[in-house]
Amino acid sequence: MHEHSSDGKIHDGLHSGGRGRYFLVTSLNTVLFVAVTVIGAAYSSKALIANGLHLLLDVASLLISAIASSLSGRAPNKKNSFGLIRLEVVAALITSVSLLLASIYLVVDAIVATGSIPSNSSVAMAAFLTLFGAIGIVVNFVSIVLLAGVKGDPLLKKANMLHFASDSIAWLAALVAGIVARFISISIADLIATVIVAVVIVASTLAVIREIISILLDSVPSRLSIDAIEAEIKLVERVVDVHHLHVWSLSSSELMLSAHVVCESDVTIHEGQGIVTKIKEMLEGQFSIRHATIEIECHVCDVPIHEIANLQSHDHGHVH
């Protein structure tokens, strides 16, 4: 007896309001990218050009996220039985890795640029660092507020919000570097700010990447205990044992479970269906698992106890 979740559609993807928010955030950051890059090139400011590259990665990540979220809402088909929900996880991985690469570039570029800024450009550069630092903080704050209201995969949203939170620290560091540049070398101020930003980015992004890898490896979600789930299933009336219990994630918001549940030998098919319903209600209520596949057995399938004429082996027709 197999019982599956009745959900015909696991994930709704990105609704029209979410697409509008992504578009607005992308537009704001695109405008800021153009302004920073143009000014950086005009004044030969490696710091502003580096921040422009960072903004370019932001815009690319947002576009990838918007596309992935829209595609993940497509209905399942014969080729992709769960739809394309994991595209959001892949998008979050691309976003996070790009952020790490940008951090490395920022540090290397700041080290190379140290001491190479002409004195006649330092005053203007310090002023623009301060100005764009303030503007960048405002743009990132607005971006975070807009993204917070987007429905969809929490992991993808978390990756993007971390991206902008770390960017806010980067702009704050640029603002402070511009202010203190009047007291120390602009190159040294820029280098110190860049290293601080890179450390913050790496620390926050590694946590997201660890979660992404866990999902892609079909590991048990860190917030769940497989022993606790097994214990709760055994508490359901007329359940004798549980084995072949697997718990994993399709995305950070969609938890999956499959299990073989051994019931008392006199349980009928109708009673078994009722037991499965109780188990699934418990799983959703206590562990937020909405998609479960439960196989009911009258004894452990690996230890046959029935003598059935003309059958040479015990085979339920499923894979362990």
- pTM, two decimals, is 0.64
Asked if residue 252 lies in contact with residue 211, where contact means CB atoms within 8 angstroms, the answer is yes
Q: Are strands 255-263 and 291-297 parallel, antiparallel or unpaired?
A: parallel
Structural domains of the chain in order of their starting residue, each with its CATH number: 2-216 (1.20.1510), 218-320 (3.30.70.1350)
pLDDT for position 317: 44
What distance in Å separates the CA atoms of residue 258 and residue 260, rounded to the nearest whole number? 7
Only one residue has tokens 């110190």, namely 192
DSSP designation for 153: -
Going by C-beta distance under 8 Å and a sequence separation of 6 or more, which residues neighbour residue 237? Answer: 275, 278
- List per-residue pLDDT tens for the chain, 320 residues long: 544 443 434 444 445 556 677 788 888 989 998 998 888 788 766 667 767 777 777 777 777 766 766 766 677 778 877 777 777 788 778 878 887 887 787 777 777 766 655 555 677 778 888 898 899 899 988 888 888 777 665 666 676 777 777 778 778 877 887 888 777 777 777 677 777 777 777 777 787 788 889 888 989 988 889 999 999 999 999 999 999 999 998 876 788 999 999 999 888 889 999 999 999 999 999 998 989 999 998 766 555 544 444 444 444 444 44
pLDDT for position 102: 77
pLDDT for position 254: 82
Of the candidates 57, 58, 38, the one whose C-alpha atom is nearest the C-alpha of residue 48 is 38
Helix (H, G, I), strand (E, B) or coil at 296: strand
pLDDT for position 4: 45
What distance in Å separates the CA atoms of residue 271 and residue 18, rounded to the nearest whole number? 44
Strand 291-297's sheet: what is its strand order? 2-3, 291-297, 255-263, 239-249
108-135 burial, b for 16+ CB within 10 Å, e for fewer? ebbeebbeebeeeebeebbebbbebbee
What distance in Å separates the CA atoms of residue 18 and residue 58, rounded to the nearest whole number? 17
pLDDT for position 10: 42
pLDDT for position 121: 61
